[in-house]
Amino acid sequence: MTATTGPVRPTPLRFPLPIGGVAGTSFKHEHLGAILEAGRQRGFFEVHAENYMGAGGPPHRALEAIRRYHPLSLHGVCMSIGGPQPLDKAHLARFRGLVARYQPALVSEHLAWSTHATSFFNDLLPLPYTAATLRHVCDHIDQMQEAIRRPILLENPSTYLAFAESTISETDFIRSVAERTGCSLLLDVNNVFVSATNHGFSALDYLADFPLSRVGEIHLAGHDAQSDDDGEPLLIDSHDGPVADAVWKLYEIVIERCGPVPTLIEWDSKIPDWPVLQAEAAAAQAILDRCGITVPAEDRHAA
Amino acid sequence: MPPEPVCFAAAFAPGLLDPDCRVPQVVTGPNGKAAGKRYDVYRNNVTVSLIDALAAIYPAVQRITGTDFFRAMARFHVRSSPPTSPLLFEYGRGFPDFIAQYEHAQTMPWLADVARIERAWLDAYHARDATPLDPAQLGAVAPERLADLVLIPHPAAQIVRSDYSAVTIFAANRESAPVDRIDASTPEDALITRPGFDVIVRHLPAGGAVFATCLTQGRTLGEAAALALEASADFDIAVNIAGLVEAGAFTSIDFGDA
């Protein structure tokens, strides 16, 4: 294996796949002490892959400690899969190294772009849905899956605007990507709600069109409200607060249709104390346990 | 390959960090509605997140200048020098030089050096892990071989030189405790190391920066000591070498072919 980012480990920390209908949370370093104190427990942790692409130091020590007792989800936020330019080879190699080192249960990336020419914009930027962008996205996912030697989960975006040139609906686009590349999908229910509000479509219709049978992980997060040029509500995917009631309701509907799917509470800024985040995960777990009665495989397609 | 149509990213990207750029024509709100405020969400996300990244890398600079001053200064830098790597902990290497030239920071001539120490601190934090040299190993070297030995630097070890009291100002402002008045006029050189998991920033004694720099560049102990003495008559080799080894500046001894 090339490009491992750390020392060779004597015993691989492989975790059995899949992890099933379990609720997890973002892992934030300020919670490390509380998490380790609680010891082994049900759940999983998700980290942004790029934060662990340094050569050494405390970030890796923290992630090793977490990984020792918990399944891990590696969530890439900077691959720029949705951009027209070729993927960064060095970044692919770093990603492959992290996957090899930490053996995550889940690996995901976004239907978005963040780099153009030489500039990295540190945001998940939107793309038009056309035959040309579909080809680029599929090529990029093929390339990433080849690099890390496993399928990824692709996350649906939250967007604030659209492109006049788009000719394909987002759900059709995502379905085609999944069919052509064999990738699985990360359904961010908050993103669906945010985009539905921002673009004036029905979240339920979107979910009815979404290829739920390919969903291997769900994200839930908080959002913020602003207004657009006409004073209409414009929701911002801020990840800085509790999950909204309307998003919980959509989540229940999804779980009733999908059965139990690993579900993550994302909370990336204004980080609360650990018990607050833990309580959000417990709420998701309760819905998974209540609504996620295993659905026969053939019924999972009927959305 | 057929020619690509005008690339959406090439149309979308320029306005993200340029407030004078118009909203790209390729974007729209629902049903053809205006997309100005909608595009502004992306402008704001990009600019704020990159300013936040600089604030996270340079907390002492922000504490010294105050948040509003810092964010205004950082906004200029973010717009003129956006990151070129998706790894944000690599961002802001040009920020200390930018601060040194920033018109409104000229009354704080030591500020750029404080920033240099903060940048080095983060590099040490993320540096490759390595076990530092055991002082006993150096103690066991026969006296006649000392002058010719070369010390292999630890991946985290760095030196930052300053004509001002940058180490004292840095240390006082990385804490949350109130800061007393500091005389900024004493030159202070910093040694930044991470022997275990905690980054250490130390004030090097007289001649120490020349000595440590020579050693990390692969000069022999004898050459480094001679150059340090030339730079500072007060240079004390025993104190300096003990301090560097104890701080974890090296990983091993190389005797070369001698």
> How many CA within 13 A on the CB side of residue B40?
11
> What is the β-pairing status of strands A153-155 and A106-110?
parallel
A259 touches chain B (CB under 8 A): no
Q: Does A133 sit within 8 Å of B86, measured CB to CB? A: no
Residue B158 one-letter amino acid: Q
pLDDT higher than threshold 70 for residue A256: yes
List the one residue out of A204, A147, A145, A212 whose CA is nearest residue A185: A212
* Average pLDDT taken over every residue of chain A: 91
| Distance from C-alpha of A67 to C-alpha of A106, rounded to nearest angstrom | 13
Domains located in chain B, CATH noted: 1-108 (no CATH), 128-258 (3.90.930)
Examine residue A18 and say whether the peptide bond preceding it is cis (omega within 30 degrees of 0).
yes
- In a mutational test of the B interface, the residue from A5, A28, A79, A122 whose CB has the highest number of chain B CBs within 10 Å is A122
- How large is the ipTM? 0.93
Question: Looking at residue A39, what is its pLDDT?
Answer: 84
- For residue A4, the model assigns a pLDDT of 41
* Rounded Cα distance, A113 and B74, in Å: 24
Angle between helices B237-246 and B221-231 (to 10 degrees): 120
A168 CB near a chain B CB, below 8 Å?
no
From A91, A122, A128, residue closest to B49, measured CB to CB: A122
Checking if the pLDDT of B32 tops 60, the result is: yes
- pLDDT of res. A16: 46
Contacts A168 to B, Cβ<8 Å: none
> How many domains are there within chain A?
1
φ, ψ dihedrals at B6, nearest 5°:
-55, 125
Task: Supply the CATH number for residue A167's domain.
Answer: 3.20.20.150
Residues A196, A206: Cα–Cα separation, whole Å: 8
Token digits of residue A43: 């759940």
Instruction: Give yes or no for residue B248 having a pLDDT over 60.
Output: yes
In which band, very low, low, confident or very high, does the pLDDT at A41 lie, cut at 50, 70 and 90?
confident
Using alpha carbons, list the distances in angstroms from residue B255 to A283, B9, B58, B151.
Answer: 62, 55, 39, 9
| DSSP designation for B134 | P
DSSP code, position B195: S
| pLDDT (average), residues B213-230 | 97
Q: Judge whether A295 is closer than 8 Å to chain B, CB to CB.
A: no
Compute the average pLDDT of residues A176-180.
98
Question: Is A11 part of any domain?
Answer: no
**Among partner residues B7, B49, B128, which is closest to A55 by beta-carbon distance?**
B128
Report CB contact under 8 Å: B155, A55. yes
Which domain range does residue A248 map to? 23-301
pLDDT at B4 over 70: no
Least Cα separation, residue B6 to chain A (angstroms): 11
Of A6, A60, A161, the CB nearest to B38: A161
Find the mean pLDDT for residues A151-161.
97
Task: Say if CB A280 and CB A265 are below 8 A apart.
Answer: yes
Pure H helices in chain B: 8-12, 36-57, 59-65, 67-80, 95-101, 111-126, 135-139, 166-173, 208-216, 221-231, 237-246
The answer as to whether A9 is a domain residue is no
For strands A162-163 and A113-116, give the pairing: unpaired
Neighbours of A298 (CB within 10 A): 8
Question: Average pLDDT of A56-67?
Answer: 97
The pLDDT, as a whole number, for residue A245 is: 98
- DSSP string of A162-181? EETT--S-HHHHHHHHHHHH
Question: Are the CB atoms for A124 and A115 separated by under 8 Å?
Answer: no
In which residue are the tokens 């359904």 written?
A: A187
Q: Report pLDDT for B6.
A: 57
B88 touches chain A (CB under 8 A): yes
Mean confidence (pLDDT) of chain B: 95
